[in-house]
Structure 1
Amino acid sequence: MTTHSLEAAPRGHGLTVADAMDPCDYHISDDSTVDQAVDILRSAHVEYLLVRDHNGRCEGLVTRAGLHPFLTRSWYTERTAISAVAHQRGPFAWPTLGLALAAIAMRVRRLTVWPVVDEAGYILGVLTAERATHLLAVTPT
């Protein structure tokens, strides 16, 4: 017979990604150009945009740092679709995933932001490593 002690459970063991995710107001279509993405990043003062496909499902995430080579603005950026640029792609987090496990996955994959999707792949929000770490640190065992 195996017994489990609460002391052996990881901190925040009852928290899920849904408890820690934030809404993401900035999305861009995968057929939008790099120029359009750069304009949104600059005007909204955000570090990332979620990329959605033509059906509205999450396709990935593009960051300001990932678009850094394109910030000089050339004819190339005017014609290059976001889908052709290297960016973070799935798998994505889902709301019922345990927060402690999600934090480990983010650390292993070196992610600071992870899109959260429903079972059909539609965007629900984002999980940030900072928020996950904070919630796990303040949640009693």
Structure 2
Amino acid sequence: MTIPFPHPARPGHGLTVADAMDPCDYQIADDSTVDQANDIFLSAHVEYLVVRGHDGRCEGLVTQPGLHSFLTRSWYTDRTAISSMVHQQGPFTWPGMGLRLAAVAMRIKHLAVWPVVDEDGYLLGVLTAGRAAALLATPSA
């Protein structure tokens, strides 16, 4: 059964999150350790990792600065799962949400990156504040 998004965009009413979202190349399972996440950050030179649950659904987002308190105590890093640390969690945005509304929500929530999920909670991509601002600054938005 397909459930419509709460605020589907109508043609001619501006840009949606789907118009601005980017693919997300780096994800990590919620039972992965802080040490494993740090290895990905160091080798891939990324700013964030999307956290996915055991069922493959998006659980949140973690940043390297968010790992800092765990990395200062080396014995924590190989025992602490990402799921047990504080990280950005839902609600997430959906592709049919208006881009202006999403940009306002991101400003209010102080988000630089916001996961975009389908109606079942599976990751479709990410919306970055910079990309949303750039698209909204164009005259056609």
TM over 0.5: yes
What's the CA shift for 1:71? 2.9
Q: What SS does structure 1 have at the residue aligned with 2:18?
A: helix
Larger mean Cα displacement after TM superposition, 19-28 or 72-81: 72-81
- Who is 1:7 aligned against? none
How do 1:60-139 residues align onto structure 2 when only pairs under 5 Å count?
A: 60-72=60-72, 74-139=74-139
Runs (4+) of structure 1 exceeding 6 A deviation are: none
Structure 2 CA distance for aligned equivalents of residues 36 and 73 of structure 1: 15
Give CA-to-partner distance per residue, 1:109-136, whole Å, 9 cap, x none: 0000000000000000100000000000
Normalization by structure 1: what TM-score? 0.88
Q: How many residues align?
A: 130
Structure 2 CA distance for aligned equivalents of residues 24 and 13 of structure 1: 27
- Calculate percent identity across the aligned residue pairs: 74
RMSD: 1.4
Which stretches in structure 2 are left out of the alignment for 5+ residues? 1-11
Which stretches in structure 1 are left out of the alignment for 5+ residues? 1-11
Normalization by structure 2: what TM-score? 0.88
